Amino acid sequence: MVNPVLLIAVPLGLAFSLPIFGLISKRLEKYLPVIAMLFNLSLSVYLVPRVLTHPIIVYIGGWAPPFGIDLFVGPVGIFFSVIIALVGLLVSIYAMDYIKEGDTGKYHVLFLLLLTGAQGVVLTGDIFNLFVFYEILCISSYALVGYLRDRDGLESAIKYLVQGSIGTGLVLTGIAFIYGLYGTLNMADIARQINSIKPAANFITLALIITGLGVEAAIFPMNAWLPDAHSSAPSSISAILSGIAIEIGVYAIARVIFTIFGATDILSFVALVGIITLLVGEMSALKQNNIKRMLAYSSTGQIGLIVFAFAIATSYGIEAGLFQILNHSLSKALLFLAAGYMIYRTGSMEISSFEGMGKRMPLTSLGFTIGAFSLIGLPPFAGFASKFLIVKAALTKGGGLYTCLIALALVATVIEGAYFFRVVQVLYFRGSNENVTRQEAPVVALVPFFVLAVLIIAIGIYPGPVMHVLNSATSEFVHRIAYIQGVLR
């Protein structure tokens, strides 16, 4: 059957062959990412039913795990690769018409590299391999943030670069410690020997890796780069960044904590950090009137919610976290893409300049509203199911700490509701209401809106199949020993 390595190989290969195609005809460049993502999506969807029962393990170069690098394609991995492929495909279709000026060739190369990095992090079973792909992901996103070459674009790119590199540096030292202590880089192998060393040393490495990954995953103190990066990057990039890049960061932290270290006792602190991230993110988004900064802050907030969900450590918690990741990536991508064309039409990022967009760009504003309602968690949309699961997980876990944390989370969702509803009002109910000419976004942009909106509503109303995938995904995280035996058989 098809080797999952192709998921990484194809985008990598296309990324490097893109300049050659560029020479043949400039126009061909923008179709390549679409082809790559189309292939990835079909392959991962094809792999999903196989992977659910028993994961596929691929040995690169033929050597057995403790020595060679292996790819562990479990339900979690395939779930993430489906999301990456889907969002990547839609953003690349969107980018076909959105990215016109500047060196488009370079944009598409970096875009493909970013996606390969993401795929790699998700599928790899080896911790150093995870770091390498993580590095590819970060570097390509630094470059893409500064793509517009305007003053604050470059400034935020540099800030992102500095913080990102400090983060990756910390991760590298952590991995070096691990290699020093256990002599192996394979996750399963480390997990097997983890409690043979006294816990203090273990903890130092865990702290380093979490802080390092935390920068990319935008957890509370380390997410200072995100608002600047997102507001100055082109909308398609900020959609990818908050749609995929941050989720990969959280996946990496979850993988490290759950499978490798199995350190469930740190989770109550992580839950606290998650809630603080949520509160700070939402509260700082309330007073914004620049649409992209507001969406960026709301991304940090949502990440806090996901981290809190994972930190509930029960199977309900992880299931809720994964569902929230799905919901957040879909709706946040939809919001950023829609905002992109609104900014393009009005020329300014101020929310007050979007008055009467309901009439000028009806479909785009409809998409924006669906994304906003889903993030707030109103019933017919996906957000409701994920909020439902998170509250269920928190309350069934019980305990005073979690009930008051979930209460704080709900307060944060109220604040989020407040500012999203204000934006919806600006779109529909403000501005002159005599009939304005309809300057709708181009068809190429409308396709992703339509697909995302349909997905959000479908998952919201009938979350059955998604839950099926998530159940097996959570079992992979929860049953650490099964993972180890699976790999080291």
Find the binding residues for other proteins in span 276-335 (CB under 8 A).
279-280, 283-284, 286-288, 297
- 231 binds other proteins, rule: CB under 8 A: no
Binding to other proteins in span 404-433, by CB under 8 A: 406-407, 410-411, 413-415, 417-418, 421-422, 425, 428-430, 433
- 399 binds other proteins, rule: CB under 8 A: no
Q: Least Å distance between CB 380 and other proteins?
A: 7
Nearest to other proteins of 101, 434 (CB atom):
434
Nearest to other proteins of 163, 235 (CB atom):
163
Q: Least Å distance between CB 315 and other proteins?
A: 12
Q: Least Å distance between CB 226 and other proteins?
A: 9
Q: Are 272 and 406 in contact (CB under 8 A)?
A: no
For 123-138, letters b (16+ CB in 10 Å) and e give: bbbbbbbbbebbbbbb
Which residue of 222, 325, 342, 343 would you call a contact of other proteins, by CB under 8 A?
A: 222
Nearest to other proteins of 344, 450 (CB atom):
450
Which residue of 6, 166, 447, 454 would you call a contact of other proteins, by CB under 8 A?
A: 166
Binding to other proteins in span 444-463, by CB under 8 A: 463
Separation CA 452–CA 458 (nearest Å):
10
Count, residues near other proteins per rule CB under 8 A: 73
- 136 binds other proteins, rule: CB under 8 A: no
Separation CA 466–CA 128 (nearest Å):
31
Q: Least Å distance between CB 395 and other proteins?
A: 4
Which residue of 162, 201, 454, 458 would you call a contact of other proteins, by CB under 8 A?
A: 162
Nearest to other proteins of 297, 368 (CB atom):
297
- 70-73/56-59 β-pairing: antiparallel
Binding to other proteins in span 99-118, by CB under 8 A: none
Binding string to other proteins for residues 63 to 82, with x set by CB under 8 A, is what? --------------------
Which residue of 23, 62, 464, 489 would you call a contact of other proteins, by CB under 8 A?
A: 464
Nearest to other proteins of 10, 267 (CB atom):
267
Nearest to other proteins of 211, 472 (CB atom):
211
Which residue of 50, 345, 392, 479 would you call a contact of other proteins, by CB under 8 A?
A: 392
- 178 binds other proteins, rule: CB under 8 A: no
Q: What are phi and psi of 65, to 5 degrees?
A: -55, -55
Which residue of 126, 228, 247, 476 would you call a contact of other proteins, by CB under 8 A?
A: 228
Nearest to other proteins of 42, 396 (CB atom):
396
CA angle 343, 364, 294 (to 5 degrees): 50
- 61 binds other proteins, rule: CB under 8 A: no
Binding to other proteins in span 259-278, by CB under 8 A: 263, 265-266, 269
Which residue of 107, 258, 368, 384 would you call a contact of other proteins, by CB under 8 A?
A: 384
